[in-house]
Structure 1
Amino acid sequence: MSSVDILVPHLPESVADATVTTWRKRPGDIVKRDEVLVEIETDKVVLEVLAPEEGLLEALLEDEGATVTACQVLGRLRLCKKTGLAQANTSQVQEAMPLYNSTVDLKDKSNAELSPAMRRLISEHDLNPKDIIGSGVSGRMTREDVESYIARSQSATSSFRHRSEKRVPMTRLRKRMAERLLEAKNNIAMLTTFNEVNMQAIIDLRKQYGKAFEKRHGIRLGFMSFYINAVLMALKRFPEVNASLDGDDVVYYNYFDVSIAVSTARGLVTPVLKDIDGLSMADIENKIKELSIKGNDGKLKVEELTGGNFTVTNGGVFGSLMSTPIINPPQSAILGIHAIKYRPMAVHGQVVILPMVYLALSYDHRLIDGKESVSFLITVKEMLEEPNRFLLDV
């Protein structure tokens, strides 16, 4: 019987290497063609390496945590005839097992069926999946099951808590994010301007048409589609915000790709909504949901993370009332949205309780002047307070 090498796939452009994160199969396991063998992580995405042929996993040549490059050999797969797969004998398994070098014990093979985010959560808290009772379909374990188990364990042991430390390496994604944020802070003349928005009109629209919208389009009418449309109108009016610096040149984009910040177990990622001027409200809501699910499952593709001329980050979903977001280079601006809070406001000489939200626009002062930045934010404010402007383009 012959063997084939399991290779690291070609890595995305500008990515030099990757880290082996999780072996989904062990030496001696029989695998089918295109079955996931191992996951590797770059500073952008998690890639799944598939079995090139049907056979028996003979050896793992790179441990979890190892740094690898494109086309490097990760392991070997022994090819077997289809009739021999079901009859793989114990000697084959025992022969392959000594070559297993992984330092991480999955504890339970069902753990391999979980998403990368779930496995990382279990690993970080050093849990045994066998101890967690699943509440999903057919007893499948959910993220809520894991978090509830952690909370119960911490509560039960609080009286016996002692001082301790735990040291874990940063993920490649978080390291790269830290580098980019530090680069932005050190190399960009960043300034932030603020404004506040009365969200009553949008709240009324959602109450009036929310059920009909969901029935027709199969998706909830959220706030993000309104924010994205308001940003689109402002980008059209202020091209400097939809531009970037490239050396001594200013690059103006005649298309509108907006990055949205998504918080995941691996860190913050910014997938891109492309050509938002061609998307309906339902398209935007569906696309945001799709990208968020992929982000949490570690399934975002490189092309879904590439590009973006402007970023929208919604810290309000976590309760943030005010922040100064950091620009995502090479972009020139980022809009921070915060929690909607009912506050007393003076309207026509009277105090009225209104749902208000603070907006923060951080911008590169080398390219965008104060007048343009303030005017951009006021445009976003006007569009949100009078959403009928979307239809009339006024």
Structure 2
Amino acid sequence: MAIDIKVPQLPESVADATVATWHVKPGDKVSRDQNLVDIETDKVVLEVVAPEDGVIADIIAEEGATVGAEEVIGKLEAGAGEAAASDEAPKAEEKATEAATESGAGEEIEVKVPQLPESVADATVATWHVKAGDAVKRDQNLVDIETDKVVLEVVAPADGVLAEIIHDEGATVSADEVIGKVQAGAGSAKPAAASAPAAEASESSDSDGEVAGPAVRRLLAEHGLQVSDVKGTGKGGRVTKEDVENHVKNAAKPAAAPAASATPAQPAVSGDREQKRVPMTRLRKTIAKRLLEAKNSTAMLTTFNEINMKPIMDLRKKYKDVFEERHGVRLGFMGFYVKAVTEALKRFPEVNASIDGDDIVYHNYFDVSIAVSTPRGLVTPVLRDTDKLSVAEIEKGIKELALKGRDGKLAMEDMQGGNFTITNGGVFGSLLSTPILNPPQSAILGMHKIQDRPMAVDGKVEILPMMYLALSYDHRIIDGKESVGFLVTIKELLEDPQRLLLDV
């Protein structure tokens, strides 16, 4: 039976999206909840997972294609992969035979924490993707090491078996510290005549990505579980969403009885009332610390304005196809936002300045931080020298930062610096908010949802696509005149985009 692979629902202020990366090709066998394709919008990347086990029958929308919500981008033939299952045993035996003939088995190699950035003293062991005794392959990701703002991957130095985990998840470690050991070539001791089910189970344990898809891994993380905690009922022991949900429900039931007996005076309640306690990640603790510092150490105020987005939307609609064909990147709204902000920063240097002790530091360059939502939290990588970038270069830069943030590849140099921040809550449906400062910066601009509203134009009521702007600023350095003037400048530039070209 053929099943449509569709684009998921897009955020309210996003009209279309781009097919970013297909992780499979026609003819590939896929499992339920396996990530098939990444769909990229202006600021977020959505994963489309397989609804059932089967084989990719057709890819309709290739990488780079512009698509809309619920649009069919591929076809999945459900259950068609069953015939290929019988081929798994010979392949597994071949791999076992190759491993048995390898030389040099038995060498023990240390798994060490990589070099940390200069300003980082220590790090935290975030997630082990394998457990002691698991077979590993050279360059396979073994463990994620989390610093204050970036996540470093530690890969296997050679094929073999993870012999020992010295530092468990949550441990604080330093650069070059030994956190585990790999027995190189130890997998060759396994008999080549191992049964097909055992070979398949061993092969599937090589990586969490084969045992559980991205959607399942996120669900496991939400409940503080590891893949090994849940018994998989899918093909080859694969863990499905239903397996995780059933595990959580079954774990909650026995805990309910002693809790009720221990506190008999509490009123009876119905339904599940479970709770969990999860330690804050290093990144989340850093975000919390910086937010409190911003709130307690600045005289923060927020001023608002609104923009008629019709001119920008008409311009984008007219040129988006030609723009994408010429530059190889989608024309979104962020390119216009950054251009307008850069021009406004030139006219109001106080907004581009910062306080250092008793001094005001005026920056004669324009590095704009772009707030990016990642699986580990909100980060603000920096787009540098925006006054020298074209709209196409800005769009490419933002896309690169968003993808690096999604994949946990942001480096420390991507995060350092920045004179001003733009955050776009509109992609999540936010109508109005008061963004909080990103110290030591003196201001942050919040963009919001574009919504049709009745507006008075030349004495008549018209329905226009309007968007609220919110500028939060440090009143110690920026006065009301500068803050309002800054917002009005952005409003004028976006409502009349020709001003960006004419510098008026």
Contact map agreement 1:117 1:296 (CA 8 A) in 2: no
Match of 1:25 among 115, 119, 130: 130
Contact map agreement 1:117 1:265 (CA 8 A) in 2: no
- Secondary structure (helix, strand or coil) at the match of 2:189 reads coil
- 1:217-250 Cα distance to aligned partner (Å, 9 max, x none): 2222111111111001001111111111111121
Q: Distance in 1 between matches of 2:281 and 2:271?
A: 28
> Partner letter of residue 246 of structure 1?
D
Match of 2:222 among 120, 124, 137: 124
Aligned-pair distance for 1:56?
4.0
Q: Distance in 2 between matches of 1:112 and 1:307?
A: 35
Contact map agreement 1:115 1:297 (CA 8 A) in 2: no
Q: Distance in 2 between matches of 1:54 and 1:77?
A: 8
Match of 1:226 among 317, 327, 336: 336
The aligned counterpart of 1:302 is 412
Contact map agreement 2:135 2:206 (CA 8 A) in 1: no
Q: How does 1:359-374 map to 2 (within 5 A)?
A: 359-374=469-484
> Partner letter of residue 471 of structure 2?
L
Deviates more, 1:198-207 or 1:122-131: 122-131
The aligned counterpart of 2:492 is 382
Aligned-pair distance for 1:167?
1.4
Aligned positions, number: 358
* Compared CA separation, residues 162 and 284, structure 1 to 2 (3 A): same
Match of 2:208 among 111, 117, 121: 111
> Partner letter of residue 329 of structure 2?
I
* Compared CA separation, residues 284 and 209, structure 1 to 2 (3 A): same
Q: Distance in 2 between matches of 1:132 and 1:44?
A: 36
> Partner letter of residue 122 of structure 1?
L
The aligned counterpart of 2:372 is 262
The aligned counterpart of 2:353 is 243
Higher relative contact order (CA 8 A, sep 6+): 1
* Compared CA separation, residues 287 and 115, structure 1 to 2 (3 A): farther
- 1:349-388 Cα distance to aligned partner (Å, 9 max, x none): 1111111111010111111111111111111111100111
> Partner letter of residue 115 of structure 2?
H
- 1:45-81 Cα distance to aligned partner (Å, 9 max, x none): 110113345554321101122221222210123345x
The aligned counterpart of 1:182 is 292
* Compared CA separation, residues 217 and 340, structure 1 to 2 (3 A): same
Larger radius of gyration: 2
Q: How does 1:38-187 map to 2 (within 5 A)?
A: 38-53=143-158, 55-79=160-184, 87-89=188-190, 109-112=206-209, 119-125=217-223, 126=225, 128=230, 130=232, 161-187=271-297
* Compared CA separation, residues 118 and 359, structure 1 to 2 (3 A): farther
The aligned counterpart of 2:264 is none
* Compared CA separation, residues 312 and 352, structure 1 to 2 (3 A): same
The question of 1:282 aligning with 2:380 is answered no
- Secondary structure (helix, strand or coil) at the match of 1:214 reads helix
The aligned counterpart of 1:343 is 453
Q: Distance in 2 between matches of 1:191 and 1:197?
A: 20
Q: Distance in 1 between matches of 2:115 and 2:214?
A: 21
- Secondary structure (helix, strand or coil) at the match of 1:40 reads strand
Q: Distance in 2 between matches of 1:204 and 1:196?
A: 18
Contact map agreement 1:19 1:66 (CA 8 A) in 2: yes
Q: Distance in 1 between matches of 2:157 and 2:355?
A: 44
Long gaps (5+) in structure 2: 1-105, 192-203, 250-269
Q: Distance in 1 between matches of 2:231 and 2:318?
A: 45
Q: Distance in 1 between matches of 2:147 and 2:487?
A: 35
Aligned-pair distance for 1:265?
2.2
Q: Distance in 2 between matches of 1:290 and 1:161?
A: 45
- Secondary structure (helix, strand or coil) at the match of 2:473 reads strand
Match of 2:464 among 345, 348, 354: 354
* Compared CA separation, residues 236 and 33, structure 1 to 2 (3 A): same
User: What's the TM-score once normalised by structure 2's chain length?
Assistant: 0.65
Percent identity for Structure 1 against Structure 2? 64
Q: Distance in 1 between matches of 2:329 and 2:465?
A: 24
Long gaps (5+) in structure 1: 91-106, 134-139, 155-159
> Partner letter of residue 12 of structure 1?
P
The aligned counterpart of 1:97 is none
Contact map agreement 1:117 1:266 (CA 8 A) in 2: no
The aligned counterpart of 2:266 is none
* Compared CA separation, residues 78 and 132, structure 1 to 2 (3 A): closer
Q: Distance in 1 between matches of 2:345 and 2:177?
A: 44
- 1:249-285 Cα distance to aligned partner (Å, 9 max, x none): 2122222111111122211111111111222212222
Q: Distance in 2 between matches of 1:191 and 1:132?
A: 54
Q: Distance in 2 between matches of 1:55 and 1:110?
A: 14
